[in-house]
Amino acid sequence: MKHIVKHIIILFFVFNWMNINAQDLHFSQYFNAPLLVNPANTGFITDYDYRIGGNYRNQWANFGNAYKTMSIWADGQLFYNKFENGWIGLGGALLKDEAGGGTLTATRGFFSAAYHQVISDNGLLSIGAGFGMVNKRVDVSKLVFNNQWNGQFFDITIPSNEPFFHTSIYYTDLQIGVNYAAFISDNLYLNAGISAFHINQPSESFFAASSTANTQLNPRLNFFLNAQIKIQNLWIVNPNIYVSKMGSATETVIGLNANRNLSGDGSNQLILGLYYRNNDAIIPVIGYELNNYKLTFNYDATISSVNTYNAMQGAYEVSIIKSGIWKGGDKSIKCPKMVRF
């Protein structure tokens, strides 16, 4: 019976994710997936010329690998000499999300571009846009439905009578965003941004058009606000908040992470953090930064009613980011700098 209950729970979450009003995929480490949060983050790298990153999330593994999300992304700064105190950022990302051990799969690829303009001596305004292609597939052979329950077990030989019309769909996705950064001093930095995804409201449904009232995705609005505060030359504290709203679903993540200078020159840093996702999870974070490489791990401890079934075993997530300078590159502009050791 326990196995049956767990099976039903998996299906419940899978079909909630299939519902067009559900929230998009996300990472708890949104701050380590900048292109997925706001296209205006593309090329927003004041201390480096480029960065390459990867993210992996495994959620509710004790439900039978219910969700796995992974991404790779990269962006860089270009055309320093073409604009007065400004530059262009170009980047792209690939994402894949699997629900129910591959029962439902989403693959996304997109490119983004942003223009960054230095304002006065301590401000930076960024405007960006992105274009993407999305494919979603469902393996109906791996699904069972309530009318296939024969009183003792799910019998797959019983017709499901579900109105599936497609098992694979494609659509384009458009996004825009704006950021403003204030480099107040060597010890204080503030940054805020807002973005909108699915602004073209693409249709998404595996069913025939006549079987659903509305198949358009709601626009997803993201807002973030963060700060960096240097304490002596030992700590850089980064309090931040992220809010994402899509239809009736709202996600709010608030907390902070802090970098501890282990080497004096900032080449070795310990990363510690703690976050809270509203009505969902407590998220401790730990990481290590060595020169131009940063590795960060977090664990989502479920505090919602779902913990009755997953024993608070929500999700784990890991990210890695490599930053660098173009070989032989020479910036012709003097842009504000982040808070650094």
pLDDT at 245: 94
Q: Which residues of 141-178 are buried (b: 16+ CB within 10 A; e: fewer)?
A: eebbbeebeeeeebeeeeeeeeeeeeeebeeebbbbbb
Q: DSSP string covering 244-297, please?
A: EEETTEEEEEEEEEEEEESSSSSSEEEEEEEEEETTTEEEEEEEEEETTEEEEE
The whole-number pLDDT of residue 163 equals 67
Per-residue pLDDT of the chain (341 residues; tens, 9 = 90+): 444 444 444 444 444 444 433 456 679 999 999 999 999 999 998 888 999 999 999 987 666 666 889 999 999 999 887 888 899 999 999 999 988 655 788 999 999 999 999 998 789 999 999 999 999 998 877 777 777 677 777 766 677 666 677 788 999 999 999 999 999 999 999 999 999 999 999 988 877 766 556 788 999 999 999 999 999 999 999 999 999 999 888 999 999 999 999 999 999 999 999 999 998 899 999 999 999 999 999 999 988 766 665 555 678 999 999 999 887 655 555 567 778 88
Q: CB of 244 within 8 A of CB of 23?
A: yes
Tell me the chain's radius of gyration from C-alpha atoms. 22
Residues whose CB is less than 8 angstroms from the CB of residue 183 and which lie 6 or more positions away in sequence, other chains included: 122, 123, 124, 189, 336, 337, 338
- The set of residues, in sequence order, having a beta carbon less than 8 Å from that of 202 and lying 6+ positions away, is 134, 171, 172, 173, 216, 217
Report the alpha-carbon distance of residue 322 to residue 80 in Å, rounded. 21
Domains of the chain, with CATH numbers?
2-324 (2.40.160.40)
